[in-house]
Structure 1
Amino acid sequence: MSFYTSLTGLKAAQSDLATVSNNVANVNSTAFKKSRTNFGDIFAAAPMQTTTQVAGQGTRITGIQQQFTQGTVETTDKTLDLAITGEAFFTVKTPPPTLQVSYTRNGAFKLDDNRYVVDTVGGRLQVFPWNAAAVPPAINTAAQTDLQIPLTKPGFPTIQLSSVGVTVDGTVTATFADSTTQVLGQVAMAAFPSNEGLRQKGDAHWEATLQSGAPVYGTANAGLYGAIRSGALERSNVDLTEELVALIAAQRNFQANAKAIETASTISNAIVNLRS
């Protein structure tokens, strides 16, 4: 039995090594969220058996959980680089015909050939339409639209775009050569009852699940949605020093379980060879 007990320890240490290695590999990935491997003990006994005389049967992985702590905000001076100082996510949607909605903390946005604001995987940033009261007409999915930056002033094709600005509450404003401005929308933010329940898609993108709960939409600089910083990006929340220490600990755990298997093998050989 000790062989199998130590084998569970080897598997657990191997999974821990894989998780820590993935964290270290993504130390420079924008908005990456580190993970932690959680373990639980295995114990089984017959109903009439005295549990104080029964040893455990090893360990098992109860889950690999992402840690959604805030990463360091790094200044880039690019207007469409957006960082969230809070717990919310940007909402992005792939172009037709797929129209798949996902959520990201990676605010490295840029313009595509149709002047839509897209993220690193081509998803279009979603905004709420603007109204005179400076309040989105409805905080829901149906009210969201793709953010598109015009090249010229609407209705005046000879007046060129001068600059684009994004405020802390996510209001996107275009300034034209004649010094007039136009509000293009307000960035749609999403929050979830349980961030840990989100399903990873890679490239700092997630999608909602039953475990995460349905997204609750809102605007930046209000409550838990946090503020938006233009000209900045959120770095990975991986602390390299902590991960290297965890890497050493996982390696030692693996070696200790391997040594336990070696010891059990030596004892078994000694018993087998008693008669000789």
Structure 2
Amino acid sequence: MSYYTSLTGLKNAQTELNVVAHNIANAETTGFKKSSTAFADIVSSSVITDPALTVGIGSRVSKISQEFSLGAIEQTGSALDLALDGEGFFTTVSPVSGQTEYTRNGSFTVDGNGFIKNASNARLQVFPIVNGAVSTASRQDVQIPTVNASGSPYSSVTISQDGHVTATYDDGSNSDLGVVAVANFIAPDGLKQMGASTWTATGKSGAATYGQPGTGTLGGLMSGSLERSNVDIAEELVELISAQRYFQANAKAIDTATQISQTVINLRN
């Protein structure tokens, strides 16, 4: 029994090492959110078991949770680098699969067709401007026209603190292309990780609710800035040492059980 009990501890220690290693590996990944491991004990008992004689049979991983605390904000000066100073996620849609994804990585660029996209080519979503007012009933790709109605070529793009995407043209005119759509979830730790600092909604996270930056519980938009990873290297190194000791202790318990078994076998011989 002691072999299997300690074996569960070894497996759990390996899982914790994997989680800590993943956190450390992404300490410099923009918009990354660290994870932590929680464990629970396993107890073998039945309705006729004497509570005073109940023996535990090991441990298990009960949850690997994501921590969505705010990372440090780094100024970059690029107009299309965005950060949320608070809760919420940027909404993007893949032009290939049509899948909606959510991210805290606000590093965007303009492609050859005028779409604002991230490194995975997913397009930033905005609320359209209808008759001069923001319509939050729908979302769409934001696309910058290469020329305005007067035929003047595109010059630059800016995004204000309230999320308005404004294109400027050589003749000095401006065009409001929409307002950045920010999503939030009732249980963000239930989001499914997709890699590249992106997530998708699940039944555990609940459906996304959308709003403009800086409204309700949603964070304000910071243009020219990016949110760094929320990984604390010092904290992760402590967790790494703790997981290593945890692994070594369980390995020692198995070694001790082996020595005892060998002693018993020798006595019988």
Provide the TM-score with structure 1 as the length reference: 0.94
Partner of 1:215: 208
For residue 114 of structure 1, what is the aligned residue in structure 2? 113
Instruction: Please give the secondary structure, in 1, of the residue aligned with 2:267.
Output: coil
Cα-to-partner distance string for 1:168-215 (whole Å, 9 max, x where unaligned):
111111222222221110001111110011111000111111110010
Cα distance in 1 for residues equivalent to 2:245 and 2:235: 16
Corresponding residue to 1:144 among 125, 139, 142:
139
Residue 156 in structure 1 maps to residue 150 in structure 2: yes
Deviation of 1:79 after TM superposition, in Å, equals 0.4
Q: What residue number does 2:253 align with?
A: 260
Residue identity opposite 2:203 in structure 1: L
2:38 pairs with 1:45: no
Equivalent residue letter for 2:198 = H
CA distance in 2, matches of 1:130, 1:88: 21
What's the TM-score once normalised by structure 2's chain length? Answer: 0.97
Q: How far off is 1:40 after superposition?
A: 0.3
After the TM superposition, which segments of 4 or more aligned residues of structure 1 sit over 4 Å from their partners? none
User: Which residues of 2 match residues 116-135 of structure 1 at below 5 A?
Assistant: 116-131=115-130, 134=133
Distance in 1 (alpha carbons) for counterparts of 2:47 and 2:130: 68
Q: Which SS does the other structure have where 2:7 is aligned?
A: helix
**Equivalences for 1:1-276 in 2 at 5 Å?**
1-96=1-96, 98-131=97-130, 134=133, 136-137=134-135, 139-140=136-137, 143-153=138-148, 155-157=149-151, 159-276=152-269
CA–CA separation in structure 1 for the residues paired with 2:73 and 2:128: 28
Distance 1:120 1:105 in 2: 13
What is the percent sequence identity of the aligned residues?
48
Deviations 1:52-83 (A, max 9, x none): 22221110001211111111111110100111
Give structure 1 stretches of 5+ with no counterpart: none
- Separation in 2 of the partners of 1:274 and 1:197? 55
Distance in structure 1 (CA, Å) of the matches to 2:65 and 2:190: 9
Deviation of 1:240 after TM superposition, in Å, equals 0.4
SS at match of 1:32: coil
Distance apart, 1:217 and its partner CA:
0.9
| Amino acid in structure 2 at the alignment position of 1:88 | G
Structure 2: gaps spanning 5 or more residues? none
- Other structure's SS at 2:43 match: coil
Kindly provide the CA deviation profile for residues 8-41 of structure 1, in whole angstroms up to 9, marking residues without a partner as x: 0000000000000000000011100000011000
Cα distance per residue 1:57-114 (max 9 Å; x no partner): 1100012111111111111101001111111111111115x21111111111011121
Q: CA RMSD in A?
A: 1.2
CA–CA separation in structure 1 for the residues paired with 2:132 and 2:190: 36
Which secondary structure state, in structure 2, belongs to the residue aligned with residue 121 of structure 1? coil
User: In structure 1, the residue corresponding to 2:3 is in which secondary structure?
Assistant: helix
Aligned residues: 269
